[in-house]
Structure 1
């Protein structure tokens, strides 16, 4: 498989399925061809997050992330440099964060919430992919992930989705859907959306995956 390095931004709201899609591409093309940089690993510390009017920390704002560091690391990878980043553990004190090395590769996937709203970051991508999904499906996926898999209180998950996730989606994510090179409808089947994204990435990179 011979191709030059290509940088793909995969953006979508929480629960849209973007992480599943990125991992599917990695599994199918292999770590020898694919590197993934996750914006989640650039979250600021809990105590540095903004609070809403009810005193709850809001982790769903562009300001929740170290965006300047994120930009610099994307730029470095695109320039052929390696990046070392500490894993974000979603404020779980029982997990010891590991250090993640992201190396330049044939396919570089950058996955996150706020990729296209900031022009200097958006301009780094060779292609921009927006993972679209209806709100009800995103809510269902978020509840399943945060309540069942991460052990968060269900009422807290619902509160954050209504008061943090949806307003942020409408203000900072959805308006930039129109800037994407490809929009993937991921309402029903994560696997189908992942296959379509993989096909697009290979096509845009001039690679035959037979």
Structure 2
């Protein structure tokens, strides 16, 4: 089994790249995991307090649980991945059943920034995109999919997303084996990644 880590700024197109790889090989061969699923459980806080959390800092993730699940999958064991609901800023009681596959695709803004995660990754990818493109995508996603408002999204972007990107996400680019420019719509880069994964699988 190989584990592919896909990092990059919020709205860069990480999910598009991850899903493209998963779609090429099929669900019977690929497990898709999002680092977002592994935000710590903040259900002990009020909704107002949870809405003010800095979710772009490495400490906001339950990295220990994520690593435990990755190691179990690599050992051929099934796991129950958590489900995080951005509308209530908390984990739900639901879980996602994940059974072992030949490929695990893990995507998230801080996949390469957290030191403990990098050693378990066989291929490290950073998806790059211009800041204005990332901001527009973030606005569209948070308003349409996560129940946020324009003012709240802009406040969050300026207060935590942008400074955390500069402090943690952008510097993590140096740990990447491959940098994908122009975001998730770079079909040529995705095709090359698929060929690389096929090469790895052939060697296993």
Q: TM-score range by the shorter chain?
A: 0.7 to 0.9
C-alpha contact 2:16 2:185 (8 A) present in aligned 1: no
Match of 2:126 among 119, 127, 130: 130
Which of residues 16, 31, 35 is equivalent to 1:35? Answer: 31
Distance in 2 (CA, whole Å) between partners of 1:141 and 1:203 is 33
**CA pair 190-139 structure 1, distance change in 2 beyond 3 A:** farther
CA–CA distance in 1 between the matches of 2:128 and 2:136? 15
Match of 1:142 in 2: 138
Displacement of 1:204 in angstroms is 4.0
Unaligned runs of 5+ in 1: 50-54
Q: Which runs of 5+ in 2 are unaligned?
A: 46-50
- Equivalent residue runs for 1:89-128 within 5 Å: 89-92=85-88, 98-128=94-124
SS of the residue corresponding to residue 205 of structure 1 reads helix
Aligned residue in 1 for 2:40 = 44
Q: Please report the RMSD computed on the Cα atoms of aligned residues, expressed in angstroms.
A: 2.5
In 2: Cα distance, 1:144 partner to 1:110 partner: 23
Distance in 2, matches of 1:48 and 1:70, equals: 21
Report 1:53-202 matches (<5 A).
56-92=52-88, 98-187=94-183, 189=185, 194-202=190-198
Number of equivalences: 197
1:8 to 4, 7, 13: 4
Q: Is the contact between residue 16 and residue 184 of structure 2 (CA under 8 Å) also seen in structure 1?
A: no
CA deviation after TM superposition for structure 1 residue 97, in Å: 5.6
- Rounded to whole Å, the distance in 2 between the matches of 1:86 and 1:188 is 25
Task: Identify if the C-alpha distance between structure 1 residues 13 and 188 changes in structure 2 by more than 3 Å, giving closer, same or farther.
Answer: closer
Contact 2:35 2:107 in 1 (8 A): yes
Distance in 2, Cα, partners of 1:96 & 1:168: 26
C-alpha separation in 1, matches of 2:92 and 2:153: 24
- Deviations 1:184-210 (Å, cap 9, x if unpaired)? 013483655544433433344348xxx
C-alpha spacing 1:58/1:19, structure 2 compared with 1 (3 Å): same
> What is the Cα deviation at residue 164 of structure 1?
0.7
Q: TM-score, normalised by structure 1?
A: 0.83
SS at match of 2:116: helix
User: Which is richer in helix?
Assistant: 2
Q: Matched residue of 2:106: which SS? A: strand
Conserved 8 A contact 1:8-1:107: yes
